């Protein structure tokens, strides 16, 4: 079953839909948080919906690979490992003790956001999920739902707009800055529904942003590799300014955390500074490391093209 170019944007839309399925219903399940004296490592979130969504994504990927005996662009072992590592990161961010701890500790909350908006999308997309996920779908879903959606001119225009590099950058950074506004951030900590909307927008904006950078086959990004490196460089400065601003602020910015017990036993100001450092240092490192990977991909592509034009090189 050949994969039409009309379907190239569907796995991105499918991932975003699955993210919504996984995150929005969790508002029904109050996190409950972690009380002093509780075993932090036993504080796993009991909501099964994220796990079911992750299992569905894994099933589609594996089933699609099994239906693809003669791949035109084989999925290598490291790519498969990346895909499942990305699903594991989402699971840990939403189901492990990281989630309830994030309601009490600003630093843990920033770590959770890094996992959702940077680490997980990069790993999942590095697994080249486009063709396997499409092939993993049942025929009735592919022909009765996917085909009409991706051929719809309105949906095509929407996809073209949301994957525009300018739009993805503004959305990615805008979402980060929006949820660091004290009023909104405090509201998210106090309200489960707003908290899940925060997670949803972080994950969705992350997948959209990295979709333009990672370029999983057969999807072709509209950005040249050199522009992708510049694209990644552009987000470092705003991320640094925000992280440094939080780190060096001597006043408590987000008071909602201190209405609850502090399970890790660190002072509120230290917790805030640590959270700023996580946002700043780890966020910048992810951009720089990914830019290095893009440079390697660029070099490999140039080597392949040189060999194509001059077979004597090989």
Domain boundaries, the chain: 8-29+37-313
Give the pLDDT confidence score for residue 171 in this predicted structure.
95
Statement: residue 81 has pLDDT above 80: yes
Q: With cut-offs at 50, 70 and 90, classify the pLDDT of residue 33.
A: low
Give the pLDDT confidence score for residue 22 in this predicted structure.
44
- Ramachandran class of 170: left when φ > 0, alpha when ψ lies in -120 to 50, beta otherwise: alpha
Statement: residue 136 has pLDDT above 50: yes
Q: Which of 119, 139, 145 is nearest to 10 (CA)?
A: 145
> Which whole number is the average pLDDT over 253-277?
89
Give the span between the Cα atoms of 212 and 221, in whole angstroms.
Answer: 5
194, 186 Cβ separation under 8 angstroms: no
For 88-102, write each residue's pLDDT tens digit: 999 999 999 999 899
Q: What's 116's DSSP letter?
A: I
Q: Which of 165, 172, 304, 161 is nearest to 227 (CA)?
A: 165
H/E segment holding residue 97: none
Q: With cut-offs at 50, 70 and 90, classify the pLDDT of residue 38.
A: low
Give the pLDDT confidence score for residue 214 in this predicted structure.
84
Q: What's 44's DSSP letter?
A: -
Statement: residue 47 has pLDDT above 90: no
288, 229 Cβ separation under 8 angstroms: no
For 149-201, write each residue's pLDDT tens digit: 989 999 989 988 998 989 999 999 999 999 999 999 999 999 989 999 999 99
Give me the chain's average pLDDT, please: 83
Give the pLDDT confidence score for residue 2 in this predicted structure.
45
126, 79 Cβ separation under 8 angstroms: yes
> Which whole number is the average pLDDT over 271-275?
95
Half-sphere exposure of residue 303, counting CA atoms within 13 Å on the CB side?
7
Statement: residue 13 has pLDDT above 80: no
Q: With cut-offs at 50, 70 and 90, classify the pLDDT of residue 233.
A: confident
Question: Of the ranges 5-14, 48-57, 76-85, 240-249, which one carries the lowest mean pLDDT score?
Answer: 5-14
Give the span between the Cα atoms of 296 and 128, in whole angstroms.
Answer: 17
How long is the chain? 314
Q: Which two tokens stand for residue 302?
A: 């140039």
Give the span between the Cα atoms of 179 and 236, in whole angstroms.
Answer: 18
Give the pLDDT confidence score for residue 109 in this predicted structure.
96
């Amino acid at each position: 079953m050949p994969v039409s170019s009309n379907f190239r944007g569907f796995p991105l839309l499918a991932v975003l839909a699955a993210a919504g399925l996984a995150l929005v219903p969790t508002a029904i399940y109050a996190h409950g948080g972690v009380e002093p004296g509780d075993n932090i490592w036993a504080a796993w979130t009991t909501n099964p919906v994220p796990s079911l969504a992750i299992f569905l994504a894994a099933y589609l990927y594996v089933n699609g690979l099994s239906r693809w005996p003669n791949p035109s662009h084989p999925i290598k072992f490291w790519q498969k490992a990346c895909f499942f590592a990305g699903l594991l990161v989402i699971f840990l961010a939403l189901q492990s003790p990281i989630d309830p701890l994030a309601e009490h500790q600003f630093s843990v909350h920033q770590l959770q956001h890094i996992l959702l908006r940077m680490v997980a999308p990069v790993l999942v997309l590095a697994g080249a999920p486009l063709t396997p996920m499409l092939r993993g779908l049942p025929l009735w879903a592919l022909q009765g739902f996917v085909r009409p959606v991706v051929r719809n001119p309105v949906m095509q225009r929407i996809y073209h707009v949301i994957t525009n590099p300018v739009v993805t950058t503004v959305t990615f950074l805008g979402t980060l800055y929006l949820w660091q506004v004290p009023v909104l951030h405090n509201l998210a900590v106090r309200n489960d529904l707003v908290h899940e909307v925060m997670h949803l927008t972080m994950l969705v904006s992350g997948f959209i942003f990295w979709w333009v950078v990672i370029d999983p086959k057969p999807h072709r990004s509209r950005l040249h590799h050199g522009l992708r490196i510049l694209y990644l460089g552009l987000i470092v400065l705003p991320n640094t300014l925000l992280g440094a601003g939080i780190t060096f602020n001597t006043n408590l910015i987000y008071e909602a955390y201190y209405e609850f017990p502090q399970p890790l036993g660190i002072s509120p100001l230290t917790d805030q500074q640590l959270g700023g450092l996580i946002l700043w240092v780890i966020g910048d490192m992810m951009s720089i490391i990914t830019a290095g990977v893009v440079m390697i991909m660029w070099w490999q592509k140039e080597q392949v093209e040189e060999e194509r034009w001059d077979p004597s090189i090989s």
